[in-house]
C-alpha cells in the first residue's frame, strides 16, 4: 500500500494519476486531504484508527487541494477534506468537489449556524477573531469591532493583510450585518487607525505590540495560546499582551471554523462519513480543544484552560454560511479603500 502521507511541498508536486483508481484502496481505509498541519491533527487520526480499525491516509498541503481534487475528477482518491476558515470551505463547494454529508449525528451535534444549509460542510471546531492588546498601554477590557474605527485608536492598530482569509471572514461578517456602505466607512476608519502597513501574520501582531509599534492587534484566539504554551521563543510576545474578546454592538464575538467536507467521488464514502461523525464525538472534540486550542462545536466539551482564561466566549449568532455569501464584497471593499497600501 502506498504511503499517502506527504509534506505540503511534495503534495503539490505529486501527479494525481500516481494515486491510481479508487479500487486501489482497501475497505479499511479513509483518504484525507488536509490544510491542517499533519503534526497537529495526527493525534486525531491515531485515535480514530484505534477506535475503529480504519487506517487514515493523509495528504497535507498549504494550498491547491480543491484544484487538485477537481483535476483528479472521477479518479480522485480523496474521501474527506479538512480545512480552516469559511473561505476555504466555500471554495471547495464552489469548485464542485464535494457532496452533501447526510448524517443525523452531524445534524444533531453541530449547531445549524455552523453547518452548510445544503449539507456540504460542517464545522468541527471554532476559532474567534479577537484582539491582542498591550498589557501596559491598553486598560480597556471591553472593545467592540465597530470601535476599532474610532479615531482614539489612530496609529495604534496592527493587522495582517486585509485580503487574508481570516480578515476577509471578519470583514464579510461586517458587510452581512451592516451592508456594504457602512462596511466601507468602517474599513476606512480602521485603515486610518493602522500603525503600519498590514503585514506578517497573527503572531507578528503580538511581536509588534511587544516592541511598542502598536497597542492593539487583530488575530485568532489560538495563536496566543500556542505562543504562550508551545513556543519559548515567542512566549515573550504573548506575555506582553492580553486577549480581549471583542463583540459587535448588540451581538457577539466573530467566530470562524475548522471544517470538514465529504469529497464528491469519495471511494470510501462510508468510512469518510464515519470519520466525519467521529470528529464531532467527545474524544475528538477534546483533542481539538487541547492540541489546537480551538473551541469545541459539541456542547459540553471542556474548553482548554488557556483559551478559557480569555473570558466567556459569546459567539455572534450570524450564520457562517451568510458570511460566505459576503466574501467577495468584503474583498472588493478592501481594494476599494486601499486597505493594504
Query: What is the average per-residue pLDDT within 29-45?
Result: 89
Q: Does the pLDDT of residue 206 top 50, yes or no?
A: yes
Query: What is the average per-residue pLDDT within 288-303?
Result: 94
Given pLDDT bands bounded at 50, 70 and 90, which one contains residue 1? very low
Given pLDDT bands bounded at 50, 70 and 90, which one contains residue 128? very high
- Angle at CA of residue 295, ends 201 and 271, nearest 5°: 100
* Cβ contacts of 262 within 8 Å, gap of 6 or more: 79, 80, 98, 99, 100, 101, 120, 269, 272, 273, 276
Query: What is the average per-residue pLDDT within 30-44?
Result: 89
Domains of the chain from N-terminus onward: 8-126+256-302 (3.40.190.10), 127-254+313-336 (3.40.190.10)
- Give the mean pLDDT of the chain: 92
Instruction: Tell which wins on pLDDT, 2 or 232.
Output: 232
H or E element, residue 99: strand 98-99
Task: Give dist(CA 289, CA 216) in Å, integer.
Answer: 26
Give the predicted TM-score (pTM) of the model: 0.89
Query: H helices of the chain, where?
Result: 8-13, 38-52, 65-72, 85-94, 104-109, 165-178, 180-192, 202-210, 221-230, 235-239, 269-279, 282-291, 305-308, 320-325, 327-336
pLDDT at 197: 98
C-alpha grid cell, residue 16: 494525481
Query: What is the average per-residue pLDDT within 240-252?
Result: 97
- Of 53, 73, 134, 67, give the one whose Cα is nearest residue 95: 67
Q: Is the Cβ–Cβ distance between 49 and 131 less than 8 Å? A: no
pLDDT at 170: 98
Q: At what angle do helices 282-291 and 269-279 cross, to 10 degrees?
A: 60
pLDDT at 19: 41
pLDDT at 62: 87
What is the DSSP secondary structure assignment for residue 110, as one 8-state letter? S
C-alpha grid cell, residue 313: 466566549
- Of 271, 272, 266, give the one whose Cα is nearest residue 75: 266
Q: Is the Cβ–Cβ distance between 123 and 323 less than 8 Å? A: no
List the binding residues: 222-223
pLDDT at 37: 79
Long-range contact set of residues 320-323: C-beta below 8 Å, sequence gap at least 24: 320/86, 320/113, 320/114, 320/123, 320/255, 320/256, 320/257, 321/86, 321/115, 321/116, 321/117, 322/176, 323/86, 323/169, 323/172, 323/173, 323/176, 323/256
Helix (H, G, I), strand (E, B) or coil at 338: coil
Instruction: Tell which wins on pLDDT, 69 or 7.
Output: 69
Q: Is the Cβ–Cβ distance between 125 and 258 less than 8 Å? A: yes
Given pLDDT bands bounded at 50, 70 and 90, which one contains residue 39? confident
List the binding residues for Fe cation: 222-223
pLDDT at 36: 83
Task: Give dist(CA 327, CA 301) in Å, integer.
Answer: 31
Query: What is the average per-residue pLDDT within 306-328?
Result: 97
Given pLDDT bands bounded at 50, 70 and 90, which one contains residue 38? confident
> Could you report the per-residue pLDDT of 46-70, keeping only the tens digit for each?
999 999 999 999 999 988 999 999 9
Query: What is the average per-residue pLDDT within 123-133?
Result: 97
Given pLDDT bands bounded at 50, 70 and 90, which one contains residue 27? low
Ranges 25-34, 154-163, 237-246, 287-296: which has the least confidence:
25-34
Using the Cα atoms of residue 85, residue 221, residue 161 and residue 236 in order, give the sign of their dihedral: negative
Q: Is the Cβ–Cβ distance between 217 and 153 less than 8 Å? A: no
Amino acid at each position: 500500500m502506498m504511503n499517502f502521507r506527504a509534506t505540503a511541498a511534495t503534495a503539490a508536486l505529486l501527479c494525481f494519476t500516481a494515486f491510481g483508481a479508487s479500487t486501489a484502496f482497501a475497505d479499511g481505509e479513509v483518504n484525507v486531504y488536509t490544510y491542517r498541519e499533519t503534526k497537529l491533527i495526527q493525534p486525531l487520526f491515531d485515535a480514530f484508527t484505534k477506535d475503529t480499525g480504519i487506517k487514515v491516509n493523509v495528504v497535507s498541503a498549504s494550498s491547491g487541494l480543491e484544484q487538485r481534487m477537481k483535476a483528479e475528477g472521477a479518479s480522485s482518491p480523496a474521501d474527506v477534506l479538512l480545512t480552516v476558515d469559511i473561505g476555504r470551505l466555500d471554495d471547495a463547494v464552489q469548485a464542485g468537489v464535494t457532496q452533501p454529508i447526510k448524517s443525523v449525528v452531524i445534524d444533531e451535534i453541530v449547531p445549524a449556524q455552523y453547518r452548510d444549509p445544503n449539507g456540504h460542510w460542517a464545522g468541527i471546531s471554532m476559532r474567534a477573531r479577537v484582539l491582542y492588546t498591550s498589557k501596559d498601554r491598553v486598560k480597556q477590557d471591553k472593545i467592540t469591532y465597530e470601535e476599532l474605527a474610532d479615531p482614539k485608536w489612530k496609529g495604534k492598530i496592527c493587522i495582517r493583510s486585509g485580503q487574508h482569509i481570516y480578515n476577509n471572514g471578519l470583514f464579510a461578517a461586517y458587510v452581512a450585518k451592516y451592508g456594504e456602505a457602512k462596511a466601507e466607512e468602517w474599513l476606512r476608519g480602521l485603515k486610518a487607525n493602522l500603525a503600519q502597513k498590514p503585514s506578517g501574520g497573527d503572531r507578528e501582531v503580538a511581536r509588534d505590540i511587544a516592541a511598542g509599534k502598536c497597542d492593539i492587534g487583530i488575530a485568532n484566539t489560538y495563536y496566543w495560546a500556542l505562543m504562550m504554551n508551545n513556543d519559548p521563543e515567542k512566549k515573550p510576545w504573548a506575555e506582553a499582551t492580553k486577549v480581549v474578546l471583542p463583540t459587535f454592538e448588540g451581538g457577539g464575538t466573530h467566530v470562524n471554523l475548522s471544517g470538514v467536507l465529504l469529497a464528491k467521488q469519495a471511494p470510501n464514502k462510508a468510512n469518510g462519513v464515519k470519520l466525519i461523525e467521529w470528529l464531532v464525538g467527545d474524544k475528538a472534540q477534546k483533542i481539538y480543544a487541547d492540541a489546537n486550542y480551538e473551541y469545541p462545536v459539541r456542547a459540553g466539551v471542556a474548553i482548554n484552560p488557556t483559551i478559557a482564561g480569555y473570558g466567556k466566549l459569546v459567539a455572534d449568532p450570524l450564520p457562517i454560511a451568510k458570511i460566505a455569501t459576503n466574501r467577495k464584497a468584503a474583498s472588493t471593499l478592501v481594494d476599494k479603500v486601499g486597505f493594504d497600501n
